[in-house]
Amino acid sequence: MLIIPAIDLKDGQCVRLKQGLMEDATVFSNSPGEQARHWLEQGARRLHVVDLNGAFAGKPKNESAIKEIVKAVGDDIPVQLGGGIRDLDTIERCLDDGISYVIIGTAAVKNPGFLHDACGAFPGHIIVGLDAKDGKVAVDGWSKLTGHDVIDLAKKYEDYGVEGIIYTDIGRDGMLSGINIEATVKLAQALRIPVIASGGLSNIEDIRKLCAVESEGVAGTIAGRAIYDGSLDFAVAQAEADRIGGL
């Protein structure tokens, strides 16, 4: 089970939001590079970076901070990036800057042709972020619920050739209320590609619950607020996941 520290960027700073609200941001660090190095030193095997300004603007807005993060971790671990990635030129620029995986969210739902082209042009580098509430997909920074069923869309994207799905229960994100295990497993069972759980991770018990369903196709989880406010010790959590997984 891969536990992936999240670094959310707003105005060049590392922040966490509650329920995706930009006005409800807590600043955790003024140095994205130092934050990335910290998680690397704690044993992280991948980083999850979100350009929050980019997600709302529809194009990357924190490029200097992103480059700082990539430089800080070097070739040691991969970095996955989401937020405002809406065209092939942006994907190419991200990959050229050293990003390993590009996360496409709203654009995958609104413009499936773009996602299809991206998977063809950059095989192995495209992850889709599906944010959902009560099984229905949300777009535009969670501000709009669509009528799309999350499993139906994920199956379509799997056929396109995406590398994996990040599934976020937006009713739980940033609330430390626990991962929606049932919905995550239901999605993973319907797919052949790996699913990464997101939204609500709060403590070591959540890690144990996720490890118990790893065989269903849940390959990892994104750790956000919990590892910043101290309710979950990242290094302890990854060690526990490794122990359960027999590593």
- 100-114, 115-129, 167-181: least confident range: 167-181
Please tell me what DSSP assigns to residue 194: -
Indicate the pTM of the whole model.
0.94
- Identify which has the larger pLDDT, 229 or 33: 33
Q: pLDDT tens, 50-64?
A: 999 998 898 999 999
> Does residue 237 register a pLDDT over 80?
yes
CA–CA gap between residue 215 and residue 125 (Å, rounded)? 23
Judge whether residue 227 has pLDDT over 80. yes
Q: Which residues pair with 87 in a beta bridge?
A: none
Q: Which residues are part of the catalytic machinery?
A: 8, 131
For residue 163, give the nearest of 131, 122, 135, 132 by alpha carbon: 122
For the segment 132-140, the average pLDDT, to the nearest whole number, is 86
**pLDDT for residue 217 is more than 80:** yes
98, containing H or E segment: none
What's the pLDDT at 176? Answer: 63
Give the β-pairing of 136-139 and 126-133.
antiparallel
Per-residue pLDDT of 158-179, as tens digits, reads: 999 999 999 998 876 656 667 8
How would residue 196 be classed by pLDDT, with cut points 50, 70 and 90?
very high
| pLDDT tens string 139-162 | 876 667 888 999 999 999 999 999
Rounded CA separation 43/67 (Å): 21
